[in-house]
Amino acid sequence: MSLAILCSGQGRQHANMFALTGEAPEASQLFTHTQTLLGGADPRRLVRDMSADALHANRFGQIICTLQALAAVEALWSSLPAQVVFAGYSVGEVAAWGASGVLDHLTTLDLSARRAEIMDAASAPGDGLLFIRGLPREVIDRLCACHGAGVAIINPQDAYVLGGSRESLQAVAKAALRLRPRRMVFLQVMVASHVKLMSQATAEFRDALKATSISFPPRTGYRLLSGVDGTAVLDGARGLDKLARQISNTVHWAECLQSCVEAGATSFLEMGPGDALSKMARETFPEAASRSLDDFKSLEGVRAWIRSHMET
């Protein structure tokens, strides 16, 4: 039996996101290193004290979401089964490279900060993301073509994240509203990730990745997925190139979840913050157990859940 580790993207940060991992001795070095990326401030204190806008600022969000995934994996490492699939949503894909052991964890945190800085430099005020559920793909494509937006992420069950300027996304939202989608909401992400507006950011992040050492392939039994096509990373250099391209190309998250199941995953565990990915997995594959770290009150509870679902 295999476990799928899902590394969350931005948008679900909250004040208690480090409740389980913040005091884990295995993760202490990660929190100390993150302080150097945040001007010496402790991320555990910052998430409790800062405003909602500051909590969702792009650089801060990418760093702390990566930190949460890595801290959780460090704390749970001894409980992970021999067979694990790692997949990450947006910046979570960077975290997945670290969680799988292909990237050093401190290097992964540095890369998340650099990725965010590059994306901020390539972004314009008002750029962002719009979530739409319940419209067919051909309609989504037509709306994007008409109003200058792009499909950023393809989720299961006719759910899409669109990226673009404020003007283009507002125009899409106005036109989509007349078509009565089941749900539509602007996300708390302040860059137009995974669309062509980020092409320059892809080029710059590719340069940063070329200068990065990796440990490839992953350990026997571990599999790392690429977000741009949902396939396993079989070559380190090509995988890094896909990781760079992901910034300005559509993330095929529905394909990633399908690939987890095809690789033998019988359970999904989302590292958080939030539970959006575990809910998607549960709704798409109801026969598989699916939980988020945010569902638990203790790390021992998470460890017990992993053991129980890997033994059945």
Which tens digit of pLDDT belongs to each residue from 94-104? 999 999 999 99
Average pLDDT (213-218) is 96
Residue 288, burial from CB neighbour count under 10 angstroms (0-12, 13-18, 19+): middle
Q: Please, are residues 224 and 5 in contact by the beta-carbon 8 Å criterion? A: no
Nearest to residue 92, comparing CAs of 237, 296, 310, 292?
Answer: 292
CA distance 281 to 279: 5
**32 pLDDT more than 90:** yes
pLDDT value at position 207?
97
Average pLDDT (239-261) is 98
Average pLDDT (222-231) is 98
CA distance 207 to 98: 18
First to last CA, the chain: 8
pLDDT value at position 176?
98
Average pLDDT (220-245) is 97
3-state class of 298 per DSSP?
coil
Domains belonging to the chain, first-starting first, are 2-122+197-311 (3.40.366.10), 128-186 (3.30.70.250)
Average pLDDT (164-172) is 98
**Cα dihedral sign, 250-254-256-262:** negative
- The model carries a pTM of 0.96
**311 pLDDT more than 90:** no
pLDDT value at position 1?
67
pLDDT value at position 310?
84
Using the 8-state DSSP alphabet, how is residue 197 labeled?
G
pLDDT value at position 13?
96
**269 pLDDT more than 60:** yes
pLDDT value at position 246?
98
CA distance 56 to 53: 5
**230 pLDDT more than 60:** yes
For 105-120, what is the HEC assignment?
HHHHHHHHHHHHHHHH
For residue range 13-25, list pLDDT tens digits in order: 999 999 999 999 9
40 Ramachandran zone, left/alpha/beta (phi>0; psi -120 to 50): left
For residue range 46-99, list pLDDT tens digits in order: 999 999 999 999 999 999 999 999 999 999 999 999 999 999 999 999 999 999
